[in-house]
Chains A and B, each alone.
Chain A
């Protein structure tokens, strides 16, 4: 089975722009979660989607949003980019919800640099 894929792998944007990141989960997985990884804050949970519905959201401003499509593919969007949004954004897919103890399988990440 193919693993979790994320596109693009690298991205450079300037402050004020917006960005959309894409994640294709493992076939058959219905849950997709997003995380932000930075040296200072570590791995922080952004949101989890299951069957096209947002099931949980982390403590991030409204500039961070996401969605999930009927084929379980997911996108996350960050509007009005700030320098502090520079990070590795990781997507993870699982058969079911994190709260049910399902294993999450991670993609390679998208590294975003905001100038």
Chain B
């Protein structure tokens, strides 16, 4: 069965510092991997996705993620945090076996001025 683990339910970064959010997945078949962001009282917005091909995926708002099959990871990074990045971030996986989108527990990002 597919599953997702996000390390750290809360992350605090200074404005201008690197943002690194960790995601590890479990899937019995090739996975499709996603990062979503959720702002307060809103739905989820897609940041980026990996299906096949290039393992470094660039998304919106300066975020990128790298698919590492050997480590079963899909960590999200942004070189320089902005105050507007304060939100909750969800990693998710789907595959042909599970036939659904499974989310990690989420990581809430706080950006300090």
Which A residues are within 8 Å of any B CB, using their own CB?
Answer: 4, 33, 35, 42-43, 45, 48, 55-56, 58, 90, 92, 97-101, 103-109
Q: Which of A33, A55, A107 is B43 in contact with, Cβ under 8 Å?
A: A107
Report whether A101 and B100 are in contact in the complex, using a CB–CB cutoff of 8 Å: no
- With contacts A42-B105, A42-B106, A43-B90 taken as known, whether A99 is within 8 angstroms of B99 at the C-beta atoms is yes
Is residue B80 within 8 Å, beta carbon to beta carbon, of the partner chain?
Answer: no
Nearest B-chain residue to A6, judged by Cβ: B43
Q: Could you list 14 A-B pairs, sorted by A, with CB under 8 Å?
A: A42-B103, A42-B106, A55-B99, A90-B43, A90-B44, A92-B44, A97-B99, A99-B99, A101-B32, A103-B46, A105-B46, A106-B45, A107-B43, A108-B41
Q: Chain A residues near B36: list those with CB within 8 A.
A: 106
